[in-house]
């Protein structure tokens, strides 16, 4: 089956009954689709926007156990996440890799405290440990982080964690699910939950954005995996539902790599307000973040707050010489974490809210999974499908995802941005070889080429130019203004491939121009 919207719609129209239907195409929902399909269940996933459009494409790009959670005493979550980190490296090595982190120390006590904590972190990873934490001299810290402030610096600690491309892994999960027989569809909004005479869920209705047509789906189990939007779906089930989730915003800024150093990442474990801040090399740039700001409402395109941007820049200035200023920011973005809604009076505290996931079965048998973190997506999916088997009366089949290779799997390293395509790389290059004009760059300062647009139209289910520029090649997050310069050519190629007219091109460029304003200062 080709991974296109047309193919997915055809399958939906020819299928009368599903075993498991998933609402939500972020990390959790896509992970569930892979798990369910690889066990042999007839699986459907619908996503209102694009895959990973929300929280799942706006993370700090770390596959990690959570050093901060360890400091908070959440040992169970850290142990689970470290195991899952190891499995991501094994099953999706094309989009994940080991990253070295350096914590600069300005007091002996802090240096030893962090070393002890990180040695424990190493030990907890067991056989899946990816590196050994070590003390660094002042000279070694400066070699690894040439821009670090040297006054009162006495050394530091180096440890190892994981890094990945979140939106690319999400897409690859969708492709993997499809390859195992699932139907996965973006731009399909759940509009109703359907029930039998006993009030039990028997399916749903969704609206396809492409045709504006409503589809009625019958399913033995329905799973709500919509992240910060879980309450919206729960209100389709019970109108008087009280919110389970309180969003917490994590903001990031992207700057040139010259502000940090070579290949090592910076980790600041205790900022002025007690949060952790990372400076991480990513796709040739450096990503600084994240914040942790409680919000009262959720939206699909949150904008970093002014105080968040100032906090990140001020913290960077405290640790880096010639630190970046507002003028140096190439892109800003924010993601919303779905945290359990606080029940105590301190509704603005996010530190005490569990990062672990919650799996809930409503009276109607609607299954809801919320919370958790990217790294543990596979384990969350396994638990959710196990519950769905019972709810849907399905024949039990064991989980197969601990060793399941994700689409694109290859251990061969590719140059530059080609790495994230994994085993698909050569086919994209072949497109450019067959039609040399497709070898043209989309922007003079970046290596992205026109063949990638064609490939995405044919194999990566893109619906608009934002899908391509923001999530298939990450251009919007790497340099928002430069991505806008590439947008007209991307729109032209997409219009040809997807058989769209000039009005579509104009509308796309207008929408993308507005979006870019959200990612620039």
Please tell me the distance from the alpha carbon of residue 398 to that of residue 316, in angstroms, as a whole number: 47
Give residue 74's pLDDT: 76
Average pLDDT over every residue of 345-371: 73
**Residue 51: which residues within 8 A CB-CB, separation 6 or more?**
25, 26, 30, 167, 170, 171, 174, 184, 186, 461, 471
| pLDDT value of residue 355 | 60
pLDDT of 348 > 50? The answer is no
Burial (CB < 10 A; 0-12, 13-18, 19+), residue 110, is middle
Q: What percent of the chain has pLDDT over 70?
A: 97
Q: Decide if 192 contacts 168 (C-beta within 8 A).
A: no
- Summarize the confidence of residues 76-88 as an average pLDDT: 90
Question: Residue 203 pairs with which residues in a beta bridge?
Answer: 194, 218
The tokens for 256 are 């040139």
- Reduce the DSSP state of residue 397 to 3 states and report it: coil
Rounded-to-integer distance, Cα 164 and Cα 168, Å: 9
CATH number of 97-163+246-340: 3.30.9.10
Q: What is the mean pLDDT of residues 364-377?
A: 94
Cis peptide before 290 (omega within 30 of 0): yes
pLDDT of residue 66: 79
pLDDT, mean over the chain: 93
**Alpha carbon of residue 137 to chain centroid:** 35
Give 211's pLDDT tier (boundaries 50, 70, 90).
very high
pLDDT mean over 202-211: 97
User: Mind listing the pLDDT tens digit for each residue in 285-313?
Assistant: 999 998 888 888 888 999 999 999 999 99
The whole-number average pLDDT for the span 77-94 is 92
Mean pLDDT of all residues in 439-462: 98
Instruction: Decide if 296 contacts 325 (C-beta within 8 A).
Output: no
Q: In angstroms, rounded to a whole number, what is the distance separating the alpha carbons of residues 241 and 235?
A: 6
pLDDT digits (tens, 9 = 90+) for 5-30: 999 999 999 999 999 999 999 999 99
Other CB atoms within 10 A of residue 49 CB = 20
Burial zone of 386 (CB within 10 Å; 0-12 exposed, 13-18 middle, 19+ buried): middle
Select from 3.40.50.720, 3.40.50.10860, 3.50.50.60, 3.40.50.1970 the CATH code of 5-56+167-243+345-392.
3.50.50.60
pLDDT mean over 241-251? 90
Give, rounded to a whole angstrom, the gap between the first and last alpha carbons of the chain: 42
Question: Does residue 353 carry a pLDDT above 60?
Answer: no
Write the pLDDT tens digit of every residue in 225-236.
999 999 999 999
Q: Looking at the DSSP assignment, which residues form a beta bridge with residue 254? A: 287, 331
Collect all residues with Cβ–Cβ distance below 8 Å to 101 and sequence separation of at least 6: 158, 159, 160, 161, 264, 265, 266, 267, 278
Whether the pLDDT of residue 322 is over 50: the answer is: yes
- Distance CA(110)–CA(362), nearest Å, equals 47
Of 248, 226, 252, nearest to 237 by C-alpha is: 226
pLDDT score of 344: 47
For residue 190, give both structure tokens. Answer: 């759940």
**Per-residue pLDDT tens over the stretch 142-188:** 999 999 999 999 999 999 999 999 999 999 999 999 999 999 999 99
- Across 114-232, the runs of DSSP E, i.e. the strands, are 134-136, 155-164, 183-185, 188-195, 201-208, 213-224
Token pair of 137 as six digits: 């001299």
Residue 354 has pLDDT above 80, yes or no: no
> How many Å apart are CA 170 and CA 186, to the nearest integer?
12
Is the confidence at residue 223, as pLDDT, over 90? yes
Going from the C-alpha of 452 to that of each of 432, 465, 505, the distances in angstroms are 9, 12, 18
Q: Is the pLDDT of residue 459 over 90?
A: yes
What does the pLDDT read at residue 347? 45
CB-based contact 141:267 (threshold 8 Å): no
pLDDT at 342: 54
Does pLDDT of 346 surpass 60?
no
Q: Which of 38-52, 54-68, 408-422 has the lowest mean pLDDT?
A: 54-68
When comparing pLDDT for 409 and 247, which is higher? 409
DSSP per-residue letters across 348-394: T--TTS--SEEEEE-TT--EEEEE--GGGHHHHHHHHHHHHHHHHTP
Three-point CA angle 472, 207, 8, nearest 5°: 55
The total number of residues written for the chain in this structure: 521
Mean pLDDT over residues 318-336, rounded?
A: 96
pTM of structure: 0.95
Please indicate whether residue 464 or residue 344 has the higher confidence score (pLDDT).
464
* pLDDT given at position 67: 78
Structure tokens at 498: 């997807």
Long-range Cβ pairs for the range 515-520 (8 Å, 24+):
515/301, 515/466, 515/470, 515/476, 516/476, 516/480, 516/481, 516/483, 516/484, 518/301, 518/303, 519/331, 519/332, 519/333, 519/476, 519/477, 519/480, 520/329, 520/331, 520/332, 520/480, 520/481
Q: What percent of the chain has pLDDT over 90?
A: 84
Which stretch of 152-156, 335-339, 395-399 has the lowest confidence by average pLDDT? 335-339
Which residues on adjacent β-strands are paired with residue 359?
369
- Name the residue ranges covered by the structural domains of the chain: 5-56+167-243+345-392, 97-163+246-340, 419-517
Distance in angstroms (rounded) separating the CA atoms of residues 371 and 246: 10
Query: Quick one: pLDDT at residue 167?
Result: 98
């Amino acid at each position: 089956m080709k991974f296109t919207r047309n193919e997915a719609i055809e399958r939906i129209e020819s299928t009368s009954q599903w075993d498991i239907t998933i609402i939500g195409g972020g990390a959790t929902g896509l992970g569930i689709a892979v798990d369910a399909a690889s066990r042999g269940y007839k699986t459907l996933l619908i996503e209102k926007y694009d895959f990973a459009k929300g929280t799942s494409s706006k993370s700090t790009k770390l596959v990690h156990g959570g050093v901060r959670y360890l400091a908070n005493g959440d040992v169970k979550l850290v142990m689970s996440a470290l195991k899952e980190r190891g499995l991501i490296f094994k099953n999706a090595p094309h989009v994940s890799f080991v990253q070295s982190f350096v914590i600069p120390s300005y007091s002996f006590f802090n240096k030893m405290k962090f070393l002890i904590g990180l040695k424990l972190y190493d030990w907890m990873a067991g056989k899946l440990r990816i590196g050994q934490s070590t003390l660094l001299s002042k000279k070694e810290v400066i070699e690894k982080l040439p821009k670090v402030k040297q006054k009162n610096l006495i050394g530091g600690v180096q440890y190892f964690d994981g890094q990945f491309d979140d939106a690319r892994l999400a897409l690859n999960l969708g492709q993997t699910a499809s390859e195992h027989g699932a139907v996965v569809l973006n731009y399909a909004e759940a509009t109703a939950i359907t029930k039998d005479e006993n009030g039990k869920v028997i399916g749903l209705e969704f609206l396809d954005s492409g045709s504006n047509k409503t589809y009625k789906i019958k399913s033995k189990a329905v799973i709500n995996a919509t992240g910060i939007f879980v309450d919206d779906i729960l209100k389709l089930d019970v109108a008087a539902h009280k919110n389970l989730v309180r969003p917490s915003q994590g903001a990031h800024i992207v700057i040139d790599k010259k502000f940090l150093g070579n290949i090592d990442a910076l980790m600041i474990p205790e900022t002025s307000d007690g949060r952790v801040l990372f400076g991480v090399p990513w796709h040739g740039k450096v990503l600084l973040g994240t914040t942790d700001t409680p919000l009262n409402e959720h939206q699909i395109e949150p904008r970093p707050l002014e105080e968040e941007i100032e906090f990140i820049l001020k913290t960077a200035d405290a640790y880096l010489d010639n630190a970046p200023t507002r003028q140096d920011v190439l892109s800003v973005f924010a993601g919303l974490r779905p945290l359990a809604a606080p029940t105590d009076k301190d509704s603005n505290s996010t530190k005490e809210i569990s990062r672990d996931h919650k799996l809930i079965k409503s009276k109607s048998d609607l299954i809801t999974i919320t919370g958790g973190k990217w790294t543990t997506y596979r384990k969350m999916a396994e638990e959710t499908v196990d519950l769905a088997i019972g709810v849907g009366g399905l024949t039990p089949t064991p989980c197969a995802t601990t060793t399941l290779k994700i689409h694109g799997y290859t251990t061969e390293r590719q140059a530059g941005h080609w790495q994230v395509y994994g085993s698909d790389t050569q086919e994209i290059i072949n497109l450019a070889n067959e039609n040399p004009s497709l070898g043209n760059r989309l922007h003079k300062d970046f290596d992205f080429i026109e063949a990638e647009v064609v490939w995405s139209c044919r194999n990566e289910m893109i619906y608009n130019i934002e899908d391509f520029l923001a999530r298939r090649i990450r251009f919007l997050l790497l340099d928002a203004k430069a991505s806008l310069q590439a947008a007209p050519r991307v729109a032209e190629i997409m219009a040809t491939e997807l058989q769209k007219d000039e009005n579509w091109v104009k509308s796309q460029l207008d929408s993308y121009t507005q979006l870019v304003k959200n990612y620039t200062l």
